[in-house]
């Protein structure tokens, strides 16, 4: 047996059995599969010796080739109105309610006061602090009209960093939409957000309604 390099990953196959696929050998095949699963921690490889082709199977809900895993299959995963099977975008209702940017933002107002929900509900004041930090970081006067600050900074404030910056910011609109769509959010918060939601909902492209 050749020596193995401990710094390299190796595949070691154990041959459990060789058999012909006939009905009489079904119990023997089942026993061989059970032993293979036991020795290989839930994996079993079946090889066709004539074609030298093989298939790899796993009982661990994991793709044996790529390592991608799923949770155990159950009926609730296929129910659109179950939290476990619901679309993560629309939460299973088939439509996605969106914040109306024109209702949320007064583009003519100073940037620090341009987000109307800040002015109407003190509850959302916590969102002012990351906005002020962004303005400070990019050396923008908070009293500059929102429409006059650079477009990329407007989009950063409203829609988040989206992987384009060295820091993470969720964005005002994604944050408010997430709170509105959250089934566990209080009715009080949803009532405050109601006036900033689009009157016409859009079809959720993930589940096509």
Helices (H), the chain: 26-39, 101-104, 111-114, 116-120, 128-137, 151-159, 172-181, 187-194
- Dist. CA 170–CA 150, nearest whole Å: 19
The neighbour count for residue 96, using CB atoms within 10 Å, is: 19
Whether residue 149 sits in one domain with residue 123: yes
pLDDT tens for residues 97-141? 789 999 999 999 999 999 999 889 989 989 999 999 999 999 999
pLDDT class for 76, splitting at 50, 70, 90?
low
Whether residue 54 sits in one domain with residue 95: no
Torsion sign, CA atoms 125, 127, 131, 134: positive
Residue 157, in any domain of the structure: yes
How many domains does one find in the chain? Answer: 2
Residue 160, in any domain of the structure: yes
pLDDT class for 209, splitting at 50, 70, 90?
very low
Which residues are within 8 A (CB) of 116 and not within 5 positions of it... i.e. 6 or more apart? Answer: 103, 104, 105, 106, 196
Whether residue 33 sits in one domain with residue 88: no
User: So what's the pLDDT on residue 38?
Assistant: 86
pLDDT tens for residues 9-48? 777 788 888 888 788 888 888 888 888 888 888 888 888 8
Strand partners, 56: 45
User: So what's the pLDDT on residue 37?
Assistant: 85
Whether residue 193 sits in one domain with residue 91: yes
Question: What range defines the domain where residue 89 resides?
Answer: 77-203
Domain boundary among 28, 50, 70: 70
């Amino acid at each position: 047996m050749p020596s193995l390099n401990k710094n390299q990953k190796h595949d070691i196959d154990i041959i459990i059995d060789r058999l012909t696929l006939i009905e009489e050998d079904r119990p023997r095949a089942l026993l061989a599969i059970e032993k293979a699963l036991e020795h290989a921690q839930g994996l079993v490889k079946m090889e066709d010796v004539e074609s030298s082709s093989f298939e790899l199977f796993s009982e661990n809900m994991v793709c044996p080739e790529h390592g991608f895993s799923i949770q155990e299959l159950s009926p609730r995963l296929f129910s659109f109105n179950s939290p476990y099977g619901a679309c993560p975008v629309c939460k299973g209702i088939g439509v996605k309610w969106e914040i109306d940017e024109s209702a949320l933002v007064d583009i003519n107002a100073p940037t620090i006061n341009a987000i109307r929900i800040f002015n109407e509900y003190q509850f959302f004041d916590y969102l002012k602090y990351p906005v002020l930090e962004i303005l400070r970081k990019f050396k923008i006067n908070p009293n500059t009209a929102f429409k006059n600050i650079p477009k990329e900074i407007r989009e950063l404030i409203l829609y988040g960093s989206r992987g384009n910056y060295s820091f993470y910011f969720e964005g005002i609109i994604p944050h408010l939409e997430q709170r509105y769509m959250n089934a566990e959010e209080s009715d009080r918060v949803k009532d405050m957000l109601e006036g900033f939601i689009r009157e016409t909902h859009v079809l959720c492209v993930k589940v096509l309604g």
